[in-house]
Amino acid sequence: MNDRRRFLHVLGATTAAVALPACGGTDTTTSGTGTSGAGGAGGSGSTATTGGMGGAGGAGGSGATTADTATASASASSSTGGGCDMNPPGTAVGVPADFTAAGLHILAGTKVLVGRDDKGLYALTSICPHEFCDMDAKQGGQPVGTVTGQGIICNCHGSKFDNYGAVLKGPANKPLKAYSMALGCDGKVYVDKTKVVSIDQRLDA
């Protein structure tokens, strides 16, 4: 009996010792649940369903979705008209059929060069950045700008630019600026000389 009572005493002490970490585990679990709920507030819909705070997160996610939907709707509205602009800013410089050939096109009186490549249309200023000769104009009956297959030459002082306005030869030391373009619903191509854009922009027309 003495051995049995000693055994039960030792067994009881061991059970109590094992129970202590279990309490710690409960605390950890509770803490983990709280953290999980806060994470739900960050926008995970599935997490949001597992706790009260997560529910708030689910509501946030719903709001973001609504905003995205509104943005998409606004975008769709702005493109209404089959890709044309009802009231494009700038000046009409022609129709797409005027610019079917690849390379640069001189447009007298517009101070704009229109270019085409396999990605679409783009517009450059015709004003040479050296001393501001207009490559669309004539001087003494001779054209100031000469279009070549590789770009354009400013005959005032011999600067050369490639088809995208980059300087190939000075004295000009700055590229030709690129302008924003739009296709009007009247079928005309418009150039906005108040809006300088990246040379990478194209009008799909």
Residues that bind ligand FES in the complex, under the rule CB under 6 A: 128, 130-131, 133, 154, 156-159, 171-172
Nearest approach, Cβ of residue 114 and ligand FES (Å)? 19
- Asked whether the beta carbons of 161 and 168 are under 8 A apart, the reply is yes
Nearer residue to ligand FES within complex by CB, 117 or 131: 131
**Cα dihedral sign, 10-15-20-25:** positive
Helices of type H across the chain: 2-41, 45-48, 52-78
- Asked whether the beta carbons of 107 and 91 are under 8 A apart, the reply is no
Nearer residue to ligand FES within complex by CB, 153 or 189: 153
Nearest approach, Cβ of residue 150 and ligand FES (Å)? 16
What tokens were used for 150? 């590789």
Nearer residue to ligand FES within complex by CB, 62 or 148: 148
- Asked whether the beta carbons of 149 and 103 are under 8 A apart, the reply is yes
Distance of CA 121 to the CA centre of its chain: 19
Nearer residue to ligand FES within complex by CB, 109 or 158: 158
**Number of neighbours of residue 118 by Cβ within 10 angstroms:** 6
Question: Nearest 10 degrees: CA dihedral of 159, 168, 107, 131?
Answer: -30
Nearest approach, Cβ of residue 135 and ligand FES (Å)? 7
What tokens were used for 158? 């011999």
Nearer residue to ligand FES within complex by CB, 160 or 202: 160
Nearest approach, Cβ of residue 76 and ligand FES (Å)? 45
Nearest approach, Cβ of residue 134 and ligand FES (Å)? 9
- Enumerate residues 6+ apart whose C-beta is below 8 A from 12: none
Nearer residue to ligand FES within complex by CB, 33 or 150: 150
Nearest approach, Cβ of residue 132 and ligand FES (Å)? 6
